A = this chain, B = another copy of it.
Amino acid sequence: MASNRKLGIIAGGGCLPGLIAAACRAEGRPAHVLALTGHADPAVIAAADLPTDWIRLGEAGSGFASLRQAGVSDVVMVGPVRRPSLSELAPDLRTARFFARIGLKALGDDGLLRAVVTELESEGFQVVGIDQVLASCLARPGLYGGPAPDAQAEADIARGIEVARALGAVDVGQSVVIQQGIVLGVEAIEGTDRLLERCGLLARDGVGGVLVKLKKPGQDRRIDLPAIGTNTVTAAASAGLRGIAVEAGAALVLGREAVAAEARRLGLFVIGIAPL
């Protein structure tokens, strides 16, 4: 997916911004980071070793100016951003105008992110999906590593798909944990790590549960794709789970080989599923 168009990386939390930066370097693609204060991890951004501007979430005005000044053509938004309340946002003029137009109702769900995409494009940037930059990370169907799911695990995955789809349809969460047909937990904004911790405490005796992660139906592929990495596999094992199922062609598996190796080491399955 080599391109010479300069990539603007709008960076939220976690390791993904670093992986994108590494992919750009490997391809010799020019890139510029716009890191979100309070969301992006300074260590990850520093290690990315790219020209960087830091802005607050509410500073859309200076954000657009930074990207334009850096000569960015394409923009990718990566890494979780803790959804702020309006009072935390302290919007600048440009941001306030944006909210005045989309209305406050959209704050807090994908509606907001979709609106941000539209806004970036109205400023002349092309918004691309993480999966276009990191094509090798898009989940493929089939077993990544670990033992194949048995009949109970298959049933739990099916129940997980049903619940995740219902939630996704109202624009909430991407992850659920099911054990022996019991819905142990449903993710809202707390994140997958906390969901797994909680479900570890709620787990029943007998065979363990599964984590199911799907893209929301109708979710724009350019925003907030569900992702797992080796840390997800480790956390799932700590929570007593037997496996992880992610939506093939929609979720990201960060570090295919490392994830497969961790799955084998801990005896969990990691599988790409096609829920449609």
* Inter-chain contacts of A106 with B (CB < 8 A): 181
Q: Are A170 and B166 in contact (CB under 8 A)?
A: yes
Beta-carbon nearest neighbor of A168 in chain B: B166
* Inter-chain contacts of A75 with B (CB < 8 A): none
The complex is assembled from copies of this chain, and their number is 2
* Inter-chain contacts of A202 with B (CB < 8 A): 189-190
| Residues of chain A at interface, number, CB under 8 A | 40
Q: Are A85 and B189 in contact (CB under 8 A)?
A: no
Q: Are A109 and B181 in contact (CB under 8 A)?
A: yes
Question: Known: A88-B204, A186-B188, A206-B88. Contact between A170 and B162, CB under 8 A?
Answer: yes
Question: Known: A188-B186, A202-B190. Contact between A181 and B88, CB under 8 A?
Answer: no
Q: Are A186 and B163 in contact (CB under 8 A)?
A: no
Considering only residues 144-198 of chain A, those with a C-beta below 8 Å from chain B are 155, 162-163, 166-167, 169-170, 172-173, 176, 179-190, 194, 198
Asked whether A101 is an interface residue with its Cβ less than 8 Å from the other chain, the reply is no
* Majority secondary structure, A binding face: mixed
Q: Are B167 and A205 in contact (CB under 8 A)?
A: no
Beta-carbon nearest neighbor of A152 in chain B: B104
Q: Are B167 and A186 in contact (CB under 8 A)?
A: yes
* Inter-chain contacts of A85 with B (CB < 8 A): 179-180, 182, 204-206
16 CB < 8 A contacts A-B: A83-B182, A85-B180, A85-B182, A87-B205, A88-B204, A105-B181, A107-B180, A108-B183, A109-B182, A109-B183, A163-B167, A172-B183, A172-B186, A184-B188, A185-B189, A189-B202
13 new A-B contacts at CB < 8 Å, known A88-B205, A107-B180? A85-B204, A108-B180, A108-B183, A109-B183, A163-B170, A173-B183, A176-B188, A182-B189, A185-B189, A185-B190, A190-B202, A194-B198, A198-B198
